[in-house]
Structure 1
């Protein structure tokens, strides 16, 4: 190995300069193994993060569905109450109309009796 090849980009002698090719290869293999181990740890950590995010999204979706179900139920109950109130109003108006008809009939009868008495 020549001195020219052992100088790195910063102008310093490389840490590999004094190592034999076998030792250098072994050292490089160890470094690659370390990098692979770290890469595996990172992949596992990312997998855990992904699983956690999926769990959070599932929880949020569940809560949103439950909330939507509750709101829909409340809207339905309010609509049923409004329909029931509408029927009660209709029945009251029918009774009032009947009462007005009865009053009108009675007033016609009173008018006819008054006209007979006056005549």
Structure 2
């Protein structure tokens, strides 16, 4: 039986590790600084940046809606096609992006550490 009463201090929580929404928000806002983009274009940017790892269409739509609701992006229907909505970054979005730039490096470092430790735990328990 393992001894779980060791003197290890909790430095952080898993909730502080990078969340999917932070990754999406960062990539979307970074791209919107290059000008307005359609949702499908933003989906492509994410998939390209993450080398084939994309995001569920409905989750991306939810994040884009949330960015617009919080005032970080402005959204508007394309005049020619009611199925295409384009997005533009706002001043609030620029500030939020700068905040992510400040916060995410530390969170990414923590995530890498946590996942490496978890990978080692998985290896220890493989059959």
TM-score range, shorter chain: under 0.3
Greater helix fraction, Structure 1 or Structure 2: 1
Per the normalisation by structure 1, the TM-score is 0.28
Per the normalisation by structure 2, the TM-score is 0.26
Higher relative contact order (CA 8 A, sep 6+): 2
Which has the larger Rg?
Answer: 1
